[in-house]
Structure 1
Amino acid sequence: MTLSTAYWCVLIAALLPYCWVALAKASVPRYNNRDPRGWIAQQTHPRLKRAYNAHLNALEAFAPFAAGVVLAQLAGVVHDRIAMLAVAFVALRVLHGVAYVADLAWLRSLAWFGALACVVALLAQAALSIA
């Protein structure tokens, strides 16, 4: 794997939240694009709410991940290690979203912790590389 693999993973992670929100909007009829947040707030459909929550969680997870990839690269962490952690992060975040929509709380939490561990590993290795 190369560093470009990690950069492709950053792009995928940046787009992933929009997959979940598209699923949320497609889960029930009559989506209102004039007031999307108001429309979401009024919905009670469980799948829609879970997909929207997966969207919000994916947005929250993106910034630390992207920072971890960039800082690890700038600190000189081995490119294969960065790429491996980036691929693992994306795979775990996809699993997280699928588990969220499917209402598998235990799997969702496991995937969330795994993805967080990837981010922590990226940031810790960056810090250790410049220490």
Structure 2
Amino acid sequence: MTIAYACVLLMGLFPYVAAGIAKKGFENFDNSMPRQWLAEQTGFRARANAAQANLFESLPLFFAAVIIASMNNAPQARVDLLAIGFVLARIAFLVCYLANWPTTRTIVWVLGLICVVSIFFSDLTN
């Protein structure tokens, strides 16, 4: 398994970390209607839930980038490095979301997007 593939697996599971944070403590949590309960939350729980949604939204483009780079025999070291950059940016994104640092969150979101777009083009510089 390449580092980039391991990053795909890690990122596929990472939104569940945000979900766990959103439900941390389970105060009056209603598992029969979890989305309604989450929609009523505020503060860090609401931000963690929003981060979870954004983390899921970012997955298809990242997964496609890694697969396409692999199919095009892009330099593996470059793809691995960019995949690690994406993972680090998304971890920082979650931290910024929870801490309520919107400007920093946007900056790390853009950095993650740059990593993904760069993966798509990594075979062009081969």
Q: Deviations over 1:39-71 (max 9, x none)?
A: 11122x211110001100000001100110010
Question: For residues 30 and 4 of structure 2, what CA distance do their matches in structure 1 show?
Answer: 36
The structure that is helix-richer by fraction is 1
CA displacement at 1:96 relative to structure 2? 0.3
Q: Deviations over 1:95-130 (max 9, x none)?
A: 00000010011110111000000111111235x37x
Q: Could you tell me which runs of 5 or more consecutive residues in structure 1 were left unpaired when the two chains were aligned.
A: none
**Paired letter, 1:39:** W
Contact 2:65 2:119 in 1 (8 A): yes
Helix, strand or coil: the match of 2:29?
Answer: coil
Helix, strand or coil: the match of 2:32?
Answer: coil
Q: Could you tell me which runs of 5 or more consecutive residues in structure 2 were left unpaired when the two chains were aligned.
A: none
Runs of 4+ in 1 over 6 A off after TM superposition: none
**Paired letter, 1:99:** C
Match of 1:37 in 2: 35
Q: Name the TM-score, length of structure 1 as normaliser.
A: 0.90
Match of 1:7 in 2: 5
CA displacement at 1:76 relative to structure 2? 0.9
Q: Name the TM-score, length of structure 2 as normaliser.
A: 0.93
Question: For residues 57 and 113 of structure 2, what CA distance do their matches in structure 1 show?
Answer: 11
Contact 1:27 1:48 in 2 (8 A): no
Contact 1:21 1:51 in 2 (8 A): yes
Contact 1:28 1:48 in 2 (8 A): no
CA displacement at 1:22 relative to structure 2? 0.5
RMSD, aligned CA: 1.6
Helix, strand or coil: the match of 1:125?
Answer: coil
Question: For residues 25 and 103 of structure 2, what CA distance do their matches in structure 1 show?
Answer: 23
Match of 1:71 in 2: 68
27-36 or 4-13, larger mean C-alpha shift: 27-36
68-77 or 28-37, larger mean C-alpha shift: 28-37
**Given the alignment, which residue of 24, 27, 31 partners 1:26?**
24
